[in-house]
Each structure stands twice: as structure tokens, then as C-alpha cells.
Structure 1
Amino acid sequence: MDFMRSVWRGTPAATNGTLTVSDTFTIKGTYCTPKDTTTEPKALQVLVHGITYNKTMWAGMGFSPADYSWHTAATSRGYATLALDRLGHGANPQRPDPLSVVQPQVQIDIMHEIFAGARDAASPLNSVLGRAYDKVAFVGHSYGAFLGAALGAQYPADADALVLAGYSSYFDFSDMIEASWASAADHDPARFGADLAKGYVVMTDETQRTETFYVGGYDAAIPPVDFAYEDTLTVGEIGALAAILGPAVGYTGPVLAVTSVEDAFFCETPKEKCEEHLIATADAFPDAESYDYFAPENTGHDLTLHYTAGETFEKVHEWLDSKL
């Protein structure tokens, strides 16, 4: 835990060397298509969650789909969605080494394969999707948004658009540093398994978690469910994060940053100050054809699980309609 906190403080111990990871991984996903089957979907949205979450966040974690489900909002606008469980999380059957394997670069390369497969009618993925997609957009939240920006930098042809939620070039990880963390195996062995590697960790204080991710207008019934079903993060995901940060030079598609004014990590109040951070974030995408932002108010970091979620869904899909 001290190692992760040192990374969030910006003072990690120096590391050297590289490791080649070569393996076959099973990645679980939730795939949704529009009800109207008479027309082709406008595009496929690949949805990537942040730390301590999994693909269920995009479905509203079991709460009203009309209010909190990205899938419902997207398919009603004519888009298909594919929400992924990142390697080591969610329903994926493998829990690789949490320090040397479950790192951001491995996650990025897995996503690159998925984007390529979604476009290729002959790929095994399209035996599941049922078709190839000419247009594929990346949608990521928080840590998932960092991965999306890095995907744009490393594989600029993969995504036709980047939607980066809970994200900016401004960071304040004080809440992560101060939070109570523990090995998932020690905290809840019945759920995570007593033999899960110690480098898979969870937040252990429900009040801290709620205060970190929720602000202002939200259903009080959601945070207890969020805490009860929280996923893990790995020490490798945090420890190697700095290696993928930097401007997405070469990415020429459109970019949308969607970050709430009260986001504990990536913005500041008042709204004018938050907007300064979001405007400055454009510098991270110097070659993008366009850069836009939206900053919902009275909303915390988990912006799809607040009362403003519907407004956020509407703004994002209006933007995607205009760009794709």
C-alpha cells in the first residue's frame, strides 16, 4: 500500500528493466445492440471501466436502466456497446500476477486487439458481435480514460473518437492516498478467495468510498451497493501508470472530456476553475481534429451514477452524432 501511495504522491522508487508478457487471456464483455434491427448501428462504443470497478458500472450497477445505464442510452440513439472487464477484473476467469502482468501497457495491447477484431469480419470476435464495424469509438471512465488516451497515442488508428470521462490533465490523488486499502483476499476472503495474490487490493471503508466518488445529487441507495460489489485494483496498474502518460501525439480523431465540476481527482470548484483544467487538457491531444469538454455540476467522480447521468448521456451522444 505504501508503494501505491508513493506513486499517487509522485515520489515512487526508481525502477528499471522490462518484462515480456506473452499469454492468452479471456476477456468478458457485455454487448448490446439497438432494438431496431432494420438499420445498421451507427458505430460500436467500446466501454472501459476505472479502478475498483468492472463492466457492471456501465449498466448502472443494477439500478434503473432508464436513469443510469450507458447501454440503454447508447442503443436508444442507434449505437452498439461493448463493455469490457479489464484483465484481472470482473468476470474474467484469470487473475494474473498483479505487479508484473496486470499493468496498463498489457491492458492497452489487449484493447488494441479488440479494436482490430471489431473491424475485421473474419476475426473470432465478430463471431460474437455478428458483424464488423466501420466506426469504433472508445469510451473510458477514470483509469479507463487514461488507457484510452494512451491507446490514441500508441495506436492512433484504433478509435474513431475518444470519450474520456472522469479525466483531465489535472490530478489530485489526495483521497486515494488517505483512503484505507487492504488486500482483497484479507478484506473479504469469502468473496475474493483467500488465495488471491496480495497485490489485488480494495478500499475497506464504505464512508471514505462514498465521500470520494459521490457528491451532491445521487440516490443514497447506490453507494452501499457500490461498496458491497467493488472490484479490485492492482499494484501494477498504479505502479506503471506514469509509463503511459503523456500527450497523444499522432491521434487525429475527435476528443471529448466529460468531467464533473466536483470530481475529487480531476477538477476543482467553482465551475470556472474546473473548466480551466478541462480547457488546458486540450494540450494533451495536439493533433486531434477537435477537442471538446462537458462539466456537469452537483456531481462526483462517478458521473454515470448521479442524478445528472441522463444529461451526461445526452451530451455525449449529441457529440458522437456530430463527430461520427
Structure 2
Amino acid sequence: MRVSIWARVIFTAIIMCGFATGVAAADNESAPADCRSFPFAVPQGELAATLCTPAGGARTVMVLMSGSNFNGTYWDFSYQPQTYNFRRAMNAAGYATLVVDRLGNGTSTHPPSETLSATATAQNLHDIVQAAKHGIGGAAPFGKVVTVGHSLTSGTSIMEATQYHDVDGLLLTGYSHAVNVPETLSVIATYHSAADDPEFAGRGLDPGYLTSRPGTRMHDFYDPGDVDPAVLALDERQKEVFSLTEYPDGMLSTLPGMSNFLTAPVMIVVGGRDRMLCGIDYATCASSATLQAEEAPFFAPEARLRSFVLPGSGHAVNLARNTADYQAAVVDWANSTIGN
């Protein structure tokens, strides 16, 4: 069985980060972003995209693409959005967001599962980055573009950036080079054909589309001490499909070498209890400093690597109880290295 690509950030907590979180929550209530959805054409079909721009506009856009077991709702979570909605937090901080479902994901086109690959996703991401810089979805061109990935799409973000060098920053969540292979295999063992899953009955998906078996997402993506049961229940209803054919080329980004060619600022975020990415006994994720020490050799000085561990969180850092700390860390990194 193939090992999946789950990709593998030094944040020093300062008062301003907590302040930024408070401002984000207030702004979410008083000044909602202007959002519009549209299809983005790619060779194999269309990608579902939603562009949200803060009141007053933005110069920088974050392109948010979810990993293999999630869709756009991972970034735009509807339950207690003042806490769990990453998209709204970034809009409140002054950044535009472009949430995109990759092929075979969410409401994007679902081609035959065996035709999906990380290489194609990386090429689609490049086309999106270029479109954002020249005007996308009726918006004015953005001056700066940051790609934001989770797990599988952190890998495709690296693939895109090392080939084209056209982004101004990369936020890699659910990514590290310290893959715990036995634990990763234990997660893969929970997958089954989406055609056999009650959540996808009648959708006409071919047997190559996989999803997590009912009741296994706690084991795979969360820690019991850091998840609201209501979040877990909604995530089960919103879970997503993917194809194993997306993994082999995507795994290349976790090997020594590729990430060393990144020339834009990079931030890595991992949950402190991520069973797949924290090495043996979670030692790599003991703190942001330990993660920084582990990851620094894999990045060139131009990346100005910053690492952040969200204590207690599993793989799904957006949906941990303390996710606001991670949101604040991202805003601090973006403000200090990229700007809005």
C-alpha cells in the first residue's frame, strides 16, 4: 500500500497576536467580506472557487486549497465561525481569500479517479496564481499571492512554487518531513471506497474515489482533548473524497531536496498531537522550537522559515478548540513577512 503524502512551523507568542485574534472576531461581525463564487476552467473540467475580499479591499490574496480528506468547508467552517472559520479570520486581518476545491473534490469536476494527480493539481494552482495576479472572478489584480495548503495541498504548493517561483509566500499546514510511517499507515487503513459510504450514496463516484470510514476521523485527524464534539459531527457530514493516484507524485515534496528550492517566505504549522507528522512519541512537535530545528535543514535561507506547533491539536489544525492561536500566528507571520 502506498504511503500518503501528509505533509509536515518558530513562532514566539506575543501580545499582539492575541490582540489580532480579538480584532478579527470583532471585524467578522461588523464588516463581513464581499464573497462571490465562480467556476475556474482547467483542462479536466472546472474548479469551484470562492473569492472573499475584506471591506475596503486588499492587496494580498491567500489561495486556500484543502487536503485529501476535506473540501472548502475546512477553511470556511460554518459552526461557531468566530472561532473555527479560518477564511473569515484572514479577511478580518485585511487579506483577501480564494477558496478553491481541487479536481475530484467538493463541487469541482469529478473526472475518473485514476486521472487525478498532484502534478495536475500543482499546474492548476499555478494557473490560479497567475489569474489572481491578472484579475480573477471580476476582481482587480492582486499585488501579492500566498498559497495556503493543508496536508496533500501543502505538497502541491511546494511543487508549484519550486517550478514557477511566482508566489510571495507559502503557508504549509499539516506538513513536515518527520513522517511517522506506522501511524500514517494506520490512517490509510481507515479508508474505503466512497461508493460504499452513506455520505456519498447515489453520487455516481467510481470505486477509485476513497473516503474515511464512518467514525474514524477522531483517530485520523483529531485529539480527543482538543475537539468539540459538534465540530467532529459536522466534519463527518462534510468529509471529502480523493484518489490514491494523487499521492505518489505528491510524496516527492516530503523527500529531502524539493523544499530546499523554495525562494519565498514559508511558514509551517503542525498540530502537537498529529499522529502522522510528529515523529516518534510526538517528539518533533514538542514545541515550535523543536519543529523549527527539525525542518530548518530542508529549507534555504531565502525561505525565512517560521514554524508553529498548535499544542494539543491533531492533523486538522483549523478545527482544534485552540485554533485561534494558530490563526493569530499566521496573521503575525503574514503581516511581518508579506504584508496586506
TM range, smaller chain = 0.7 to 0.9
Where does the alignment leave 5 or more consecutive residues of structure 1 unmatched?
A: 10-21
Identity of aligned residues (%): 26
CA positional deviation for 1:212: 1.9
1:14 alignment partner in structure 2: none
55, 60, 65: which one aligns with 1:48: 65
Distance 1:176 1:319, change over 3 A: same
More strand by percentage? 2
CA positional deviation for 1:265: 1.2
Distance 1:292 1:119, change over 3 A: same
Distance in 2 between residues matched to 1:43 and 1:307, nearest whole Å: 28
1:267 alignment partner in structure 2: 278
Distance in 2 between residues matched to 1:146 and 1:76, nearest whole Å: 27
Distance in 2 between residues matched to 1:82 and 1:29, nearest whole Å: 7
Are 2:152 and 2:250, in contact at CA under 8 Å, matched by a contact in 1? no
148, 152, 155: which one aligns with 2:157: 148
CA positional deviation for 1:85: 0.3
DSSP-derived class of the 1:32 partner: strand
1:78 aligns with 2:94: yes
Are 2:4 and 2:251, in contact at CA under 8 Å, matched by a contact in 1? no
Distance in 2 between residues matched to 1:67 and 1:32, nearest whole Å: 18
Structure 1 range deviating more: 224-233 or 45-54: 224-233
Distance 1:166 1:129, change over 3 A: farther
Are 1:247 and 1:283, in contact at CA under 8 Å, matched by a contact in 2? no
Are 2:168 and 2:265, in contact at CA under 8 Å, matched by a contact in 1? yes
Distance in 2 between residues matched to 1:143 and 1:242, nearest whole Å: 8
When the two structures are superposed, what TM-score results if normalisation uses the length of structure 2?
A: 0.80
Distance in 1 between residues matched to 2:138 and 2:69, nearest whole Å: 27
RMSD after superposition: 2.2
Are 1:255 and 1:288, in contact at CA under 8 Å, matched by a contact in 2? no
Distance 1:89 1:289, change over 3 A: closer
14, 19, 28: which one aligns with 2:48: 28
294, 300, 320: which one aligns with 1:306: 320
Distance in 1 between residues matched to 2:287 and 2:180, nearest whole Å: 14
**Where in structure 2 are the equivalents of 1:251-266 lying within 5 Å?**
251-266=262-277
Are 1:166 and 1:302, in contact at CA under 8 Å, matched by a contact in 2? yes
Distance 1:143 1:24, change over 3 A: closer
Q: 1:255 corresponds to which letter in structure 2? A: V
CA positional deviation for 1:8: 4.6
Distance in 2 between residues matched to 1:168 and 1:199, nearest whole Å: 27
Are 2:117 and 2:249, in contact at CA under 8 Å, matched by a contact in 1? yes
234, 240, 249: which one aligns with 1:231: 240
1:98 aligns with 2:113: yes
Per-residue CA distance 1:106-144 (angstroms, 9 max, x = gap): 0000000000011014xxxx2x14110010001111111
How many residues align structurally?
A: 294
Are 1:267 and 1:274, in contact at CA under 8 Å, matched by a contact in 2? no
Structure 1 range deviating more: 227-236 or 284-293: 284-293
CA positional deviation for 1:251: 2.4
CA positional deviation for 1:276: 3.2
Distance in 1 between residues matched to 2:289 and 2:179, nearest whole Å: 14
200, 208, 213: which one aligns with 2:209: 200
1:18 alignment partner in structure 2: none
Q: 1:154 corresponds to which letter in structure 2? A: Q
CA positional deviation for 1:227: 1.5
170, 183, 200: which one aligns with 2:193: 183
Distance in 2 between residues matched to 1:195 and 1:6, nearest whole Å: 25
Q: 1:55 corresponds to which letter in structure 2? A: G
DSSP-derived class of the 1:90 partner: coil
Distance 1:292 1:209, change over 3 A: same
Distance 1:282 1:149, change over 3 A: farther
1:135 aligns with 2:144: yes
- Tell me which of the two structures has the higher relative contact order, counting C-alpha pairs closer than 8 angstroms and 6 or more residues apart: 2
Q: 2:221 corresponds to which letter in structure 1? A: F
Are 2:253 and 2:259, in contact at CA under 8 Å, matched by a contact in 1? no
1:320 aligns with 2:331: no
**Where in structure 2 are the equivalents of 1:150-165 lying within 5 Å?**
150-157=159-166, 159-165=167-173
Where does the alignment leave 5 or more consecutive residues of structure 2 unmatched?
A: 6-41
Q: 1:73 corresponds to which letter in structure 2? A: A
Distance in 2 between residues matched to 1:95 and 1:310, nearest whole Å: 33
Distance 1:194 1:118, change over 3 A: closer
CA positional deviation for 1:249: 4.2
Q: 2:74 corresponds to which letter in structure 1? A: M
DSSP-derived class of the 1:44 partner: strand
